[in-house]
Chains A and B, each alone.
Chain A
């Protein structure tokens, strides 16, 4: 079964800390992997998309890596700020699933001032 898992479910860090969020997936036959941010009561905002042929993507203080062979992706946030507090979700588009995404359960991040 194709599944996506995110651990931990919640994380609390002091402001300024560098942090890593983890995402694991059970099938290496992926088309891409996407990271989203969700603020309370809101929809999802796309942060980064890593294509199957890529190893990482960067946007500002965010860096996402992809290792298909081990079934893992990480989202690295540098110099965290209170405004980074949100839930971060990863999602996989499998090769045999068209445009459909399978989501992990998310990591709820709290950055304390």
Chain B
């Protein structure tokens, strides 16, 4: 079955620590996205990538970094510079521009501070 796999499901971060969230898709989609969701709120875009080896900042990129070395993978690193990392992180993918296809989402990673 085609889909998006996020891991781990739960993650805890210590003070000053960088942590990396994994996102893998086998839908052959070119575009991938990372969103942050705070309790009772909608999704805010952190980073997106339209093609391998290229990515762009979204609305709330500060304190986060990404890489896109393979089409299937788009890992997100939450750095120590992100002072309020506790949130639900969602990864999504879609075909490229102009397809009028919905984004597909993973099941999310819940990040908390120890």
Contacts and interface: CB of A to CB of B under 8 A. Distances in A.
Interface of A: 4, 6, 9, 31-32, 34, 36, 41-46, 49, 51, 89, 91, 98-101, 103-106, 108
B43 interface: yes
Interface centre among B4, B48, B92, B103 (most CB of A within 10 A): B103
A57 to B, nearest CB: 11
Interface of B: 4, 6, 31, 33, 40-45, 48, 50, 58, 88, 90, 92, 94, 96-97, 100-108, 110
A104 B42 CA distance: 6
A42 B109 CA distance: 9
Given A43-B105, A44-B90, A105 B110 contact: no
A42 B108 contact: yes
Contacts of B41: 105-106
Chief secondary structure at chain B's binding surface: strand
A49 B102 contact: yes
B108 A43 contact: yes
Contacts of B6: 43
A46 B31 contact: no
Contact of B48 (A91, A100, A104): A100
B40 to A, nearest CB: 7
5 contacts: A32-B100, A43-B6, A44-B103, A49-B101, A49-B102
Nearest to B48: A100
A44 B105 contact: yes
B50 A105 contact: no
A43 B106 contact: yes
A51 B100 contact: yes
A43 B58 contact: no
Nearest to B6: A43
Nearest to A90: B42
B42 A103 contact: yes
